[in-house]
């Protein structure tokens, strides 16, 4: 298997990808990228012209964007069972919720965080529609089953749980028992705990160096 390099910062969306990497259990090298000088340096812009993390390089293949990385890793390591089989009907809901989180839900929670005006006058023109519709849609789905795609934990849950937790920590969405129960269930997984420990330790190392 080709070497895999993970470009990240512990206080970024890279934490989502770290969890996914721990779920697949593959060996990987970490390149810690500081905000600003490292991410905007020519060497890293050759990896991701956006100058943002996370990104991975797997052999000669570069993948950016959190949802894309998670989907890619699930497909590269199918023995971990983190995605439905490509030809199965279950693949439909899996794609649906991966893209829902990366699209409407993140837009809705960003709008709430930054006070963007989305109401009945413009909701039909934006991807998330009315912000409460995105939140209510997810709550209804998670209230019906243990994981977003049913009884099986998948890469989609890595995304859903991570984005939900961040939105609740930042108080962009109100406390919600359905969401909290789901987060407790998913982030109680050994891989999630390992990922948090690794990134928390890395954050402390960066803090010590900067001070």
**Residue 2 has what pLDDT?**
58
Radius of gyration of the chain (CA): 17
Last residue of a domain, one of 81, 106, 130: 81
Judge whether 108 lies within some domain: yes
Token output for 42: 């020519």
Residue appearing with tokens 């995304």: 159
Do residue 102 and residue 158 come from a single domain? yes
Residue appearing with tokens 């909701």: 123
* pLDDT in 10s for each residue of the chain, 211 residues: 459 999 999 999 999 999 999 999 999 999 999 998 899 999 999 999 999 999 999 999 999 999 999 999 999 999 999 999 999 999 999 999 999 999 999 999 999 999 999 999 999 998 999 999 999 999 999 999 999 999 999 999 999 999 999 999 999 998 899 999 999 999 999 999 999 999 999 999 998 887 6
Which CATH number characterizes residue 24's domain? Answer: 3.40.30.10
Judge whether 15 lies within some domain: yes
Instruction: Give how many domains the chain has, as a whole number.
Output: 2
**Residue 207 has what pLDDT?**
85
**Residue 70 has what pLDDT?**
98
Structural domain range at position 47: 4-81
Token output for 166: 């961040």
Do residue 54 and residue 137 come from a single domain? no
Last residue of a domain, one of 25, 52, 81: 81
Do residue 119 and residue 174 come from a single domain? yes
Do residue 33 and residue 52 come from a single domain? yes
Last residue of a domain, one of 31, 63, 81: 81
Do residue 185 and residue 129 come from a single domain? yes
Give one DSSP letter per residue of 29-65, joined into a string: EEEE--TTTTTTSHHHHTT-TT--S-EEEETTEEEES
Q: Are 9 and 53 in contact (CB under 8 A)?
A: yes
Do residue 67 and residue 129 come from a single domain? no
Do residue 46 and residue 105 come from a single domain? no
pTM, 2 dp: 0.94
Judge whether 98 lies within some domain: yes
**Residue 209 has what pLDDT?**
83
Judge whether 180 lies within some domain: yes
Judge whether 126 lies within some domain: yes
């Amino acid at each position: 298997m080709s070497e895999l390099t993970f470009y990240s910062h512990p206080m970024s969306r890279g934490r989502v990808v770290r969890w996914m990497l721990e779920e697949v259990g593959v060996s990987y090298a970490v390149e810690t990228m500081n905000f600003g000088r490292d991410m905007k340096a020519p060497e890293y812009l050759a990896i991701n012209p956006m100058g943002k993390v996370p990104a991975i390089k797997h052999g000669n293949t570069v993948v950016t964007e959190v949802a894309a990385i998670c989907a890619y890793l699930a497909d590269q390591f199918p023995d971990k069972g983190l995605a439905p089989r490509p030809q199965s009907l279950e693949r439909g809901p899996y794609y649906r919720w991966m893209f829902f989180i990366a699209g409407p839900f993140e837009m809705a929670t960003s709008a709430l965080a930054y006070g963007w005006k989305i109401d009945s006058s413009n909701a039909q023109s934006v991807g998330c529609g009315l912000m409460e519709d995105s939140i209510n849609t997810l709550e209804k789905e998670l209230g019906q089953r243990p994981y977003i795609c049913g009884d099986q934990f998948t890469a989609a849950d890595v995304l859903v749980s991570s984005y939900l937790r961040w939105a609740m920590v930042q108080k962009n969405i109100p406390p919600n028992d359905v969401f909290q129960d789901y987060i407790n269930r998913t982030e109680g997984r050994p891989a999630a705990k390992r990922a948090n420990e690794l990134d928390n330790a890395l954050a402390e190392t960066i803090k010590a160096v900067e001070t």
